[in-house]
Amino acid sequence: MPRPVVRVRIYKYENLAAAPREAEDDLAAEEPLEIRIAGRPISITMRTPGHDEELALGFLVGEGVITGAGPVPHIRRCEQAPGDSVDVLLDGATIDLGGLTRHVFVSSSCGICGAASIDAVRKRFAPLGAGPSVPADLLLRLADRLRATQANFERTGGLHAAGLFNSEGELLFSREDVGRHNAVDKVVGAALRARLLPLSAHVLLVSGRASFEIVQKAIAAGITIVAAVSAPSSLAVDLAHEAGLTLAGFLRPGRFNIYSGPQRITPGASATTG
């Protein structure tokens, strides 16, 4: 099984007037994962090894192939396949593989780069529910709680993270990956396994920026509040407005911006400040 962090030999410049010294450095691992449905390859995504089954489930939730209804699909690793491969078995459910309009390769930097058409990028999902109302100070504390779980980021500086919280600010799942969309897929897959979907009473936090694909994946999982440590993209904001999703960004001590759905964030402090 590939490791999430690999150690490499480097040459480190610390004094530009002198020769570099040899050293070792930790890097975030990036390896391909093939996702199959009933033996049929449908995607290869570049990811950080670990939580591969959750990644596959979350990917299929984001594609609209599976939902929280019915039994959780069984997943098996394909030992005979070259490299890493997982096979999702949908227990006889009828699915439309033609609806999977991506090309086979998905990069770690962008989860929708393989979409076959512009129409395929903008998927339609069930309307979002009312969702929770959370105090502004609770939203700010989520970033510290997520950062405390990022052990591999501390070693490498090269991983994104996603965290799923309940409306009281309790961290339920956190995952790291070189791809920000993969980290979200892993969190959604974990929630699916725990039979929590739809996630209308939950908050998703991402460690970097909020892209269109992350907002789309949140909508597919029923999430009503998405917060990002960094900025959202313009298309992410457009989609958030269209879906009625609350989107916050630039979480900093004492301040943040709300780009859509301000009604779910209330001024002031929560009763529990720990």
Catalytic residues: 110
- The CA distances from residue 82 to 5, 32, 85, 150, 177, in Å, are 21, 10, 8, 30, 22
Q: Centre a 10 Å sphere on the Cβ of residue 216 and count the other Cβ atoms it contains.
A: 27
- For 57-95, give the secondary structure using H, E and C: HHHHHHCCCCCCCCCCCEEEECCCCCCEEEEEECCCCCC
The type of residue at 186 is: K
Residues 6+ apart with CB under 8 A from 271: none
Q: Which pairing describes strands 160-166 and 134-135: parallel, antiparallel, or unpaired?
A: unpaired
